[in-house]
Amino acid sequence: MKSVIVNVFGSNYNVRADSDGEHVLEVAGIVDRKMKEIDRQFSQGTSTRTAVLACMNLVDEHLLQRQEDARWVSCRVGMLIDKLESVLRGR
């Protein structure tokens, strides 16, 4: 397990993770940017409120992307099934 120090929203955190340090830094950077974005937009006043809103925003983005990915996979599988059926009918 590796230990990496990251800075998020002006505070340092010592993070222990199985993944490499670059991944941890990338994740921390995304969280830091989102918290700063939320703070600029809504100026919540406390880092806790900003963190909760940033987390909710990031999870919302993740879920929307997952739904979009699932629709794409479903569409692609449907197209492949149609192709396969067309080939099998052509035999």
Strands 2-8 and 11-17: antiparallel
Domain span at residue 72 reads 2-89
**Separation between Cα atoms, residue 45 and residue 5, nearest integer Å:** 25
With beta carbons less than 8 A apart as the criterion, state whether 12 and 37 touch.
no
Token duo for residue 27: 């994740």
**Separation between Cα atoms, residue 83 and residue 89, nearest integer Å:** 10
Predicted local confidence at residue 76, as pLDDT: 96
The CB density around residue 54, as the number of other CB atoms within 10 Å, is: 24
In the chain, the number of structural domains is 1
* Nearest alpha-carbon partner for 2 in 22, 31, 32: 22
pTM of the model: 0.77
pLDDT in tens, the chain (91 residues): 889 999 999 999 999 988 888 999 999 999 999 999 999 998 867 899 999 999 999 999 999 999 999 999 999 999 999 999 999 988 6
Predicted local confidence at residue 91, as pLDDT: 65
